[in-house]
């Protein structure tokens, strides 16, 4: 690699050019890793699963058991996951881990401890014996939104607000990093209207999130029964973009939660 001053100039070009696209810092250069993550980047490493205990190659020391855990601390990136993604690539493939006798439970647990959002397994098959571990892993990596409770009045009035209580659980190990809009919709054959919930879901770290507050009921809704629906919308398309870990998902991506009478 070139001297750090040149690395810094190159990184500055990237950060100046990309304001919306999430950027990831590669792991190998400690000083560059620290600089890039301090300026908003996430981080990635490319040897997830390397459980070698010894190496006589000074440029390729044991990654999982030695280099990575210490470098994370030295670069000061332990909390980066709270605002920027962590992406991992496997060293070899899971089939090669099995061939070499590596401990898959340790590898996947370590990835979760690093608050991983994405993993590249190089389009390789998962050993059938490990399918259960990987299925469980996929339910924990990244974000996993579970709506635990949703309360609202039985009757609301068009042109006024209705009081809503939401209790969500992020059952994953990381937040979501894009600015999707949480919305509640009232929908019937005669019309529909949605209201954005004033929350920033990017701040929903693993654990509970609660919203208590009013949402506006559109004045043009005709009296009648309406389905109450919820979704996280892509601001570019205004359509549901995120799947929740609950039942009730409809073909259009919204989740039905019950009914309300509009007067």
pLDDT > 90: percent of the chain: 94
pLDDT at 233: 98
d(CA 56, CA 36): 30
At which of 138, 165, 193 does a domain end? Answer: 138
User: How do residues 58-82 score in pLDDT, each as one tens digit?
Assistant: 888 889 999 999 999 999 999 999 9
Q: Could you tell me which residues come within 8 angstroms of residue 1 by beta carbon, excluding any fewer than 6 positions away?
A: 7, 28, 29, 32
- Look up tokens 């309360």; give the residue: 151
The answer to whether residues 70 and 150 belong to one domain is no
- Count Cβ atoms below 10 Å from residue 249 Cβ, excluding itself: 14
The answer to whether residues 76 and 153 belong to one domain is no
pLDDT at 254: 98
The answer to whether residues 213 and 247 belong to one domain is yes
Helix axes 131-138, 104-113, angle to 10 degrees: 10
For residue 229, count CB atoms less than 10 angstroms from its CB and return exposed for 0-12, middle for 13-18, buried for 19 or more. Answer: buried
Average pLDDT, the chain: 96
pLDDT at 250: 97
pLDDT at 20 over 90: no
pLDDT at 190 over 90: no
- Look up tokens 């509009």; give the residue: 262
Give the residue among 77, 64, 65, 62 at the shortest CA–CA distance from 29.
Answer: 77
The residue segments making up the domain with residue 196 are: 145-262
CATH number, domain of 252, equals 2.60.40.770
pLDDT at 1 over 90: no
Sequence-ordered alpha helix ranges (H) in the chain: 4-17, 30-38, 68-74, 94-99, 104-113, 131-138
pLDDT > 70: percent of the chain: 100
Q: Provide mean pLDDT across the span 8-27.
A: 95
pLDDT at 239: 97
Q: Is 229 left (phi over 0), alpha (psi -120 to 50) or beta?
A: beta
At which of 138, 155, 184 does a domain end? Answer: 138
pLDDT band of residue 86 (cuts 50, 70, 90) is very high
At which of 75, 109, 138 does a domain end? Answer: 138
pLDDT at 58: 86
The answer to whether residues 178 and 71 belong to one domain is no
DSSP letter (8 states) at residue 231: E
Q: Provide mean pLDDT across the span 11-29.
A: 94
pLDDT at 54 over 90: no
pLDDT at 60: 85
The answer to whether residues 91 and 132 belong to one domain is yes
User: How do residues 90-135 score in pLDDT, each as one tens digit?
Assistant: 999 999 999 999 999 999 999 999 999 999 999 999 999 999 999 9
pLDDT at 122: 93
pLDDT at 55 over 90: no
Q: How many domains does the chain have?
A: 2
């Amino acid at each position: 690699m070139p001297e750090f001053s040149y690395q810094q100039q190159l990184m500055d070009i990237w950060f100046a050019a990309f304001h919306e696209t999430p950027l990831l810092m590669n792991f190998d250069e400690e000083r560059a890793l620290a600089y890039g993550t301090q300026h908003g980047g996430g981080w990635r490493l490319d040897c997830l699963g390397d459980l070698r205990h010894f190496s006589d190659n000074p440029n390729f020391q044991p990654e999982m058991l030695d280099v990575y855990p210490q470098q994370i601390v030295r670069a000061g990136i332990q909390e980066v996951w709270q605002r920027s993604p962590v992406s991992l690539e496997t060293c070899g493939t899971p089939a090669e881990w099995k061939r070499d006798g590596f401990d898959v439970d340790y590898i996947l647990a370590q990835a979760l401890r690093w608050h991983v959002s994405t993993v590249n397994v190089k389009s390789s098959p998962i050993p059938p014996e490990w399918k259960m571990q990987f299925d469980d892993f996929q339910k924990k990596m990244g974000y996993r939104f579970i709506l635990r409770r949703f309360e609202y009045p039985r009757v609301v009035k068009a042109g006024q607000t209705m009081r809503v209580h939401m209790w969500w659980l992020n059952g994953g190990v990381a937040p979501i990093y894009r600015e999707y809009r949480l919305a509640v919709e009232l929908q019937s054959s005669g019309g529909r209207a949605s209201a954005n919930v004033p929350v920033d879901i990017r701040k929903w770290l693993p654990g509970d999130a609660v919203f208590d507050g009013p949402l506006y009921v559109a004045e043009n809704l005709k009296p009648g029964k309406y389905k109450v629906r919820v979704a996280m919308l892509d601001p570019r398309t205004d359509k549901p973009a995120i799947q929740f870990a609950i039942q009730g998902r409809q073909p259009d991506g919204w989740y039905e939660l019950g009914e309300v009478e509009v007067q």
